[in-house]
Amino acid sequence: MADEPKEQQPSGVPAGDKPAGSSAPTSTPPAKAPAAAPPAAAPPKPAAPPPPKPPVQLQTPLNNELVGRVRAKFAAALLEAIEDRKQAILTVECGRLAEVAQYLRDEEKFDLLSDLTAVDWPRREKRFDVVLNLYSFAKNERLRVKARAGDGEQVPSVAGVWPTANWLEREAFDMFGIIFAGHPNLTRILLPDEWQGYPLRKDYDIIEQDTSWVKENLGIESGQ
């Protein structure tokens, strides 16, 4: 119970709250300024919501039958099973993601991959979370599966399990630079192929862009 949020906090809050927050405003004064101003200007108002916060434990360990079966099958490869706001989240070892995915689809009937995406936690040792949102028609249930991956680490592709992962993994590669091993065609999908940089990484600034690409292809100094 107590160690779960801790897992979340050192990875989540220090990464997101302070450093990412402090790195962003330096370069984005217009975006941050109005956001930062209200809480300072109107402290009496938010006084109402905070009180319920501390006592509520939002991330609690999850121990249902599904978790039991996954643990029995994959043992130590299941790193964590928690519940956040009644949504089940499993964290598995990155190297065995495709295996777990295959099992969840075939044995647990999670036949629809709703979404596959990634999250960047730059202060963490393994900075990326690859996040799969699964749905089971048979059980009418959702399940989130996460795998932590370091920069440059190869994540097994699940495109062989759910073909829909093809474009979704390409998007994650495009935006975060995560390499999916075994992907049939891992190229950029939304940005131009020659683009340098991965925009959804936390260290990529909001007004940052590949200026040389913009200059070369659009003939202007800046897209801004």
Size of site (CB under 8 A) for other proteins:
64
The pairing of strands 112-120 and 128-136 is: antiparallel
Under DSSP, is residue 25 helix (H, G, I), strand (E, B) or coil? helix
Task: Please tell me the distance from the alpha carbon of residue 112 to that of residue 162, in angstroms, as a whole number.
Answer: 8
- 133 scored as a contact of other proteins (CB under 8 A): yes
Q: Which is nearer to other proteins, 77 or 131 (CB)?
A: 131
- 179 scored as a contact of other proteins (CB under 8 A): no
- 199 scored as a contact of other proteins (CB under 8 A): yes
Q: Residue 115's beta-bridge partner residues?
A: 133
Pick one of 6, 10, 13, 106: the residue that binds other proteins (CB under 8 A).
13
- 46 scored as a contact of other proteins (CB under 8 A): yes
Q: Residue 131's beta-bridge partner residues?
A: 117, 146
Choices 70-78, 80-88, 95-103, 211-219; region in contact with other proteins by CB under 8 A: 80-88
Task: Please tell me the distance from the alpha carbon of residue 9 to that of residue 62, in angstroms, as a whole number.
Answer: 18
- 49 scored as a contact of other proteins (CB under 8 A): yes
Task: Please tell me the distance from the alpha carbon of residue 56 to that of residue 66, in angstroms, as a whole number.
Answer: 25
DSSP at 28: -
Q: Which is nearer to other proteins, 93 or 141 (CB)?
A: 141
- 122 scored as a contact of other proteins (CB under 8 A): no
**What DSSP line would sit under 94-159, residue for residue?**
GGGHHHHHHHHHHTS---EEEEEEEEE-TTSSS-EEEEEEEEETTTTEEEEEEEEE-TT-EEE--T
- 85 scored as a contact of other proteins (CB under 8 A): yes
- 53 scored as a contact of other proteins (CB under 8 A): yes
Task: Please tell me the distance from the alpha carbon of residue 24 to that of residue 31, in angstroms, as a whole number.
Answer: 9
Going 51 to 54 to 59 to 60, the CA torsion angle's sign is negative
Nearest approach, Cβ of residue 151 and other proteins (Å) = 17
- 224 scored as a contact of other proteins (CB under 8 A): no
- 218 scored as a contact of other proteins (CB under 8 A): no
Given the rule CB under 8 A, which residues bind other proteins? 8-9, 12-13, 15-17, 20-21, 24, 28, 31-32, 34-36, 38-39, 42, 45-46, 48-50, 53, 56, 58-59, 84-85, 87, 89, 111-115, 117, 119-120, 131, 133, 137, 140, 142, 144, 162-164, 166-168, 175, 184-185, 188-192, 199-200, 204, 206
